[in-house]
Amino acid sequence: MFMHLAQPQTAAHETPPKTISFEIVNLSRRRFVKGASGAAFTLAIAACAPNKPSTVSEAVAPIPDNSAVASGPLVFISIAADGRTQITNPRSEMGQQVITTVAQMIADELEVAWDKLEIKQAVGDAKYGDQNTDGSTSVRNHFKRFRMAGASMRQMLTQAAANEWGVDISECSSELGVIKHSSGKTLTYGDVAAAASQLEVPAEDSVKLKSRKEWRYIGKDQTSFTIPDVIRGKGTYGIDVRVPNMLYAVVARPPTVFGRIKSLNDRAALAVRGVTKVIRLPDPQGEAAAFQQLGGVAVIATDTWAAIQGREALEIEWEAGANGNYDSESYGRQLRATARKSGAVKLKRGDVAAAMEGAAKTVTAEYYAAHLSQSPMEPPSATAQWTDGKVECWACTQNPQAARSTVAAICGIPEEDVTIHVTLLGGGFGRKSKPDFIVEAALIAREAGAPVKVTWTREDDVRHGYFHAVSAQYMQAGLDAAGKPTAMLHRTVFPSINSTFGPADEGSNFELSLGATDAPWAVPNLQVEVGKAKAHIRIGWLRSVANVYHAFANQSFAAELAEAAGQDPKDYLLAMIGSDRQIDLSKDGVTYPNYGASLEEHPIDTARMKAVLNKVADMAKWGRDVPDGHGLGISVHRSFLSYVATAIEVAVDAEGKISFPGIWVAVDAGTVVNPANTKVQMEGGTLYGISNALYGEITAKNGVVEQGNFPDWRVMRINESPHKVEVHIMESDAPPGGVGEPGTPTAAPALANAIFAATGQRLRSLPLLGQNDRLKMTKEG
């Protein structure tokens, strides 16, 4: 009777996605029921599809609901008697379509129909493995694990059917939720789910994964689970969470990091209509801000506006503390000066000094890039509710396990007493990996004796961020008579992310490995050095992290050397990368982290790098004549195990106004799970990079960040955006690389190189425009 289910389906990508559910949706309607395992579990409430019932039926989990399972593949999958299949997504959805991607990996190996899928969002719990949605890792680090979960479950279901029939499993096959015996008998997954749940999870080596050509969803353009909700105003983001009897809070944070309250007068604040309470947050402890709250004063009210008004009425005198002298302008000058002097050698190949001496020509250049704010459109927001000494939090977090452990540590309770529900994230870009705002919510709600939502205003987000590091870099190269580089020196100076977590006064090996020590140069004498720089504001990671400034310097400098040698920048760049090879940095004294991956699986492969470069040159018709005022720029970079080349055509008019006649991106991300979405991420990553390169600049004076909102913290708008970004994905069987971040690093250098080609002006300092609308047409960089 289920044979019809085994018929070939329409193309997978035409099947509409079904429901997605987040536990946080509408808490007043939360249901608790008994699962088959006897453990109480929270039923996910369908948040989408208006024609769907508002709750998942109570029979969802003959295979124990995965919230009750300790670990292993079952943690991600439960199957109802009617065949509906619930996938628990452990990763955070911030627009990279990770829900869809995770579903593709699991459902493919599980061999289940796409329209049977329902998605549940996991809470923060180590049983789900790594949940830190950061470093473009969701596919590249978990490709096998998610497929194994699906395949293991498929094998258990098939075994259960074989047991029921009294036959050997080898006589059974399964397709789209139907198990078939060679005699023609069939059972559905739903029929055998309860029996399968009693079986042992098969040993990993006994589980066979599909071959590539058997993939049903992987490599296909499955449509998004979240978009149908989002365009109807239904997606629940962190800031949208509502809990019965909830209050609303905003926080007046010390303007300087580790600043403290000298005096507080809250009388006027308490007189604001709707304000119910004003509380002092504990000051952060120790030397490192890490994920701690920043301290300050919380104003709690009956709505967000009243809380904001109450905060305005606070009279606070602050003590600036040790960071009160931070002045980013003089700091920038200091960084540049440091970069001109020798630093600690982190990569050494050959003898740079001697080769420089013997060079026919030397070229030097200094690059600078300002602090940036991630500024996701949804500012940080979290809601907390305490019950009997335990706290439940709902938040737009990229890292729910860190949120859980940090809240537990700071509130002084065991981790088991902290539940972190993950909402949709209105953008993350690295900001929401840091759970300081969730800690605030937990502390404030405990003090308030009521559930509280903490909202960061835009000013809070821009002023109190974990900023992308400001950087200065000094590059020097020696060229031989033919213009070929024989020596290269790269000095990089920036406050390290490590400074946020402990004492650190120079860039870490991790940060140097993002585009500095792993530059692909086939130069016989090469040296990378790092200089000292102390941090005075919180430094954090932003989409593609140190790759942003390292690729900017390296890829701009390559074009400068081409110019000095009188050669074509693309051909010169190819020559600098050199022969097809796998780069072994250990020979140069570098312990290369390689984004946490093995070098056997993910070597630094110059052939792949050159292939994307050649491809993008073809796409842009590199070498063609362009109109006056136009210029083509090109760059290539490997980050997060993927290779991206970008070509940009700019047009710069007589007044210095920039537009983008064309942008082309070629990406080799190895095996790609969702090509359509990979293209979207390349578009977004490219424009994020261009926006930051053109406008992004956070400055500080007296330890206080000077920008506050979109008028002065500038980001790209539609009238400033290119009209088209053409993306090509290289066919590849290689293991997956990252997709969310690698589109960003090549944008800034391709742009600067294009502006040089258009105007003859070499720009070495980011942002290129800042608050201006026109390039300053000088001959100085």
Partner 1 sequence: MAITLKINGKNKSVDAAEGTPLLWVLRDHMGLTGTKFGCGVAQCGACTVHVDGVPIRSCITAHEDVEGSDVTTIEAASGKVADAIRAAWEELAVPQCGYCQAGQIMSAINLLETNKSPTDDDIDNAMSGNICRCATYVRIRAAIKDAAKSV
Q: Is 717 in the site for partner 1 (CB under 8 A)?
A: yes
Query: Which is nearer to partner 1, 176 or 666 (by Cβ)?
Result: 666
Give the residue ranges of DSSP H helices in 340-472: 352-357, 400-411, 436-448, 458-463
Q: Least separation, in Å, of the C-beta of 233 and partner 1?
A: 2
Member of 65, 108, 191, 378 binding partner 1 (CB under 8 A): 378
Choice from 135, 254, 426, 670 touching partner 1 (CB under 8 A): 426
For the bound state, the minimum distance from the C-beta of residue 20 to partner 1, rounded and expressed in Å, comes to: 12
C-alpha radius of gyration, the chain, whole number = 27
Stretch that binds partner 1, among 113-121, 163-171, 239-247, 327-335 (CB under 8 A): 239-247
In the complex, minimum distance from the CB of residue 87 to partner 1, in angstroms, rounded to a whole number: 20
Give the whole-angstrom CA distance, residue 167 versus residue 169: 6
DSSP category for residue 74: G
Closer residue to partner 1, CB minimum distance, 97 or 186: 97
When asked if residue 299 is in the footprint of partner 1 (CB under 8 A), the reply is no
Least distance CB 72 / partner 1 (angstroms): 31
Q: Binding of partner 1 at residue 429 (CB under 8 A)?
A: yes
Cβ–Cβ < 8 Å for 45, 20? no
State yes or no: residue 738 binds partner 1 (CB under 8 A).
no
Site string for partner 1, 455-494 (x = CB under 8 A): x-xx------------------------------------
Phi, psi of 313 (to 5 degrees): -85, -5
Complex with partner 1: residue 265 or 709, whichever CB lies closer: 709
309 binds partner 1 (CB under 8 A): yes
Pair of tokens at residue 241: 């969470």
The nearer residue to partner 1, 282 or 305, going by C-beta atoms, is 305
Phi, psi angles (nearest 5°) of residue 630: -100, 155
Residue 744 binding partner 1, by CB under 8 A: no
Nearer to partner 1, 41 or 394 (CB): 394
Which 379-418 residues touch partner 1, going by CB under 8 A?
379
Taking the C-alpha atoms of residue 667 and residue 612, their distance in angstroms, rounded to an integer, is 6
Residue of 299, 364, 267 whose CA lies nearest to 781 = 364
Taking the least distance from each CB to partner 1, the nearer of 229 and 436 is 229
Query: Are the C-beta atoms of residues 288 and 501 closer than 8 Å to each other?
Result: yes
Could you say which of 715, 735, 770, 781 contacts partner 1 (CB under 8 A)? 715
The verdict on 678 binding partner 1 (CB under 8 A) reads no
Q: Is the Cβ of residue 189 or residue 248 nearer to partner 1 in the bound state?
A: 248
Give the total residue count for the chain.
Answer: 781
Calpha distance 457→440 (Å, rounded): 14
Applying CB under 8 A, the span of 369-377, 572-580, 586-594, 729-737 interacting with partner 1 comes to 369-377
Helix, strand, or coil (residue 227): helix
Q: Which of 242, 390, 532, 581 binds partner 1 (CB under 8 A)?
A: 242
Stretch that binds partner 1, among 184-192, 238-246, 340-348, 510-518 (CB under 8 A): 238-246
Between residues 242 and 534, which has the closer beta carbon with respect to partner 1? 242
For residues 72 and 118, give the distance between their C-alpha atoms in angstroms, rounded to a whole number. Answer: 20
For residue 652, list its beta bridge partners. 658
Single residue of 194, 201, 227, 585 touching partner 1 by CB under 8 A: 227
Please answer whether residues 646 and 762 qualify as being in contact, where contact means their C-beta atoms are separated by less than 8 angstroms.
no
Min separation Cβ 240 and partner 1, Å? 4
Which residues, other chains included, contact 124 with Cβ-Cβ below 8 Å and sequence gap of 6+? 131, 397, 399, 400, 401, 403, 404, 419, 420, 422
Q: Choose, by CB under 8 A, the member of 58, 287, 303, 357 that binds partner 1.
A: 303
Q: In the window 691-710, what residues touch partner 1 (CB under 8 A)?
A: 691, 709-710
**Residues contacting partner 1: total by CB under 8 A:** 66
- Asked if 621 is part of the footprint of partner 1 (rule: CB under 8 A), the reply reads no
Is residue 719 near partner 1 by the rule CB under 8 A?
yes
Q: Which stretch binds partner 1 (CB under 8 A): 3-11, 237-245, 497-505, 730-738?
A: 237-245
Q: Which is nearer to partner 1, 184 or 233 (CB)?
A: 233
Q: Which is nearer to partner 1, 207 or 306 (CB)?
A: 306
Among 29, 232, 262, 776, binds partner 1 (CB under 8 A): 232
Structure tokens at 717: 């708008």
- Considering only 21, 152, 174, 375, the residue that binds partner 1 (CB under 8 A) is 375
Type and span of the H or E element at 651: strand 642-652
Element (H, E) at 634: strand 630-639
User: What span, in angstroms and rounded, lies between the C-alpha atoms of 511 and 497?
Assistant: 8
Which of 635, 765, 763 has its CA nearest to residue 697? 765
Q: How far apart are CB 478 and partner 1 at their closest, in Å?
A: 39
Q: Pick between residue 84 and residue 679 the one whose CB is nearest to partner 1.
A: 679
CA–CA separation, 697 and 537 (whole Å): 14
Whether residue 767 is preceded by a cis peptide bond, meaning omega within 30 degrees of 0, is yes
User: H-helix or E-strand containing 207?
Assistant: none
* Beta pairing class for 77-79 and 40-42: unpaired
Nearer to partner 1, 335 or 698 (CB): 698
Question: Among 341, 723, 774, 776, which residue sits at the site for partner 1 (rule: CB under 8 A)?
Answer: 723
x/- letters, 252..291, toward partner 1 (CB under 8 A): --------------------xxx-----------------
**Measured between alpha carbons, how far is residue 188 from residues 81, 210, 536, 626, 777 in Å?**
9, 20, 61, 62, 70
Q: Which of residues 82-121 bind partner 1 (CB under 8 A)?
A: 94-97
Phi-psi region of 21 (alpha: psi -120 to 50; beta: other; left: phi over 0): beta
Of residues 215, 94, 225, the one with CA closest to residue 150: 215
Instruction: Considering the complex, state which of residue 145 and residue 234 has its C-beta at the smaller distance from partner 1.
Output: 234
* 676 binds partner 1 per the rule CB under 8 A: yes
Place of tokens 């250990």: 586
Q: Which of 356, 497, 687, 705 binds partner 1 (CB under 8 A)?
A: 687
Residue 735 burial class via C-beta count within 10 angstroms: exposed 0-12, middle 13-18, buried 19 and up: middle
Strands (E), 266-417: 275-281, 296-301, 315-319, 344-349, 361-369, 381-387, 390-395
Closest CB to partner 1 among residues 337, 377: 377
- Could you count the other beta carbons within 10 Å of the beta carbon of residue 34? 11
Is residue 141 part of the contact set for partner 1 (CB under 8 A)? Answer: no
Q: What is the smallest separation between the CB atom of 447 and partner 1, expressed in angstroms?
A: 20
Question: Residue 271 is which amino acid?
Answer: A
Amino acid in position 231: I
d(CA 91, CA 104) in angstroms, rounded, equals 14
* Tokens 């009693």, residue located: 198
Any contact of residue 680 with partner 1 (CB under 8 A)? yes
* Alpha carbons 669 and 727: distance in angstroms, whole number: 12
Of residues 214 and 312, the one with the C-beta less far from partner 1? 312
Measured CA to CA, the distance from residue 711 to residue 401 in angstroms comes to 35
Task: List beta partners, residue 662.
Answer: 649
Cβ distance to partner 1 smaller for residue 324 or 689: 689
Greatest Cα pair distance, the chain, in angstroms, is 83
Q: Which is nearer to partner 1, 81 or 747 (CB)?
A: 747
Stretch that binds partner 1, among 450-458, 483-491, 500-508, 699-707 (CB under 8 A): 450-458
Instruction: Kindly state the smallest distance separating residue 221's Cβ from partner 1, in Å.
Output: 9
Binding residues for partner 1, rule: CB under 8 A, are 94-97, 223-224, 226-237, 239-240, 242, 248, 272-274, 303-306, 308-309, 375-379, 424-429, 455, 457-458, 676-677, 680, 683-684, 687-688, 691, 709-711, 715-719, 721-725
